[in-house]
Amino acid sequence: MTFRITCLLLLLLVTAALQAQPHPGPGTQLSQVHADDGRTLAVWSRVPAQPRGTVLLVHGRTWSSLPNFDLQVLGEPPDSRSVLAALAQAGYAAYAVDLRGYGGTVRDPSGWNTPERAVADVCDVLVWIAHTHPGLAPSALLGYSNGARVALLMRPAWAPMLSAATTSLRRAGRALKHTQRAGCMCGVWMRAQALDRVWDQVPCMVSAHANACSACKRFTLLAA
């Protein structure tokens, strides 16, 4: 009897774990990009029919790209919290890379994902995006949380790959506003000033809201 109960509990746990796995939103595509060492990187994307620009999103340390940038919440309309969908609706080809050991990208053989390795992988994805959209300007790079640190490590030699780099770190830009309640970041607003010069003078604002109670990140794109 005890064995049967144990098996039933294990089955329930496995089922719950599978249901808890993030799922891409409708229209989100998965590509496999080869890094310079032969490993493959999972890249999620939403691409409109005629994009007017490209952007690469880099997730944080806790979650991979899907919960960070393509969050689908049961009981809510599809894509209501998806950054990829919002960018695509605004006319931009939006890409989000899973760094090594996250989401659809396997862990590095060394067991570690060093900052240098993460930056090199981001550069490989930027090159792939440039080849995918040869008629468009270089990508804008948006790093969130730990992804912001990766973005800040981009060397000047790699500047031709980028048209803009925006991070979610505090003081990342002149118009970065933040509020703190009980020591927790409750709202971050970033005005991506550089994007105004890059994407056909289209002003864009990215907002990131962190709910301290549910630890659920919500992102909304507001495009004028």
The predicted pLDDT at position 163 comes to 74
The CA distances from residue 69 to 81, 159, 207, in Å, are: 8, 24, 12
Domain assignment of residue 205, yes or no: no
Task: Give the mean pLDDT of the chain.
Answer: 72
Domain assignment of residue 199, yes or no: no
CB environment 51-74: b (16+ within 10 A), e (fewer): bebbbbbbbbeebbbbbbbbbbee
Domain assignment of residue 105, yes or no: yes
pLDDT(214) > 70 = no
Domain assignment of residue 207, yes or no: no
- Tell me the pLDDT tens digit for each residue of 106-130: 999 888 889 899 999 999 999 999 9
Can you tell me the mean pLDDT for 85-96? 94
- The closest of 224, 220, 223 to 81, measured between CA atoms, is 220
- The closest of 175, 217, 182 to 70, measured between CA atoms, is 217
Amino acid at 64: S
Domain count, the chain: 1
Question: Which domain range does residue 81 map to?
Answer: 24-171
Domain assignment of residue 151, yes or no: yes
Domain assignment of residue 143, yes or no: yes
The predicted pLDDT at position 89 comes to 92
Question: Residue 5 — pLDDT band, cuts 50, 70, 90?
Answer: low
Domain assignment of residue 12, yes or no: no
The CA distances from residue 117 to 103, 110, 121, 124, in Å, are: 17, 11, 6, 11
- Tell me the pLDDT tens digit for each residue of 152-208: 887 666 677 777 666 554 433 332 333 223 332 323 333 333 333 333 322 332 333
The predicted pLDDT at position 42 comes to 98
pLDDT(74) > 80 = yes
pLDDT(37) > 70 = yes
Q: What is the CATH number of the domain that holds 72?
A: 3.40.50.1820
Domain assignment of residue 162, yes or no: yes
Query: Measured between alpha carbons, how far is 95 from 64 in angstroms, rounded to an integer?
Result: 13
| Integer-rounded Cα radius of gyration of the chain | 18
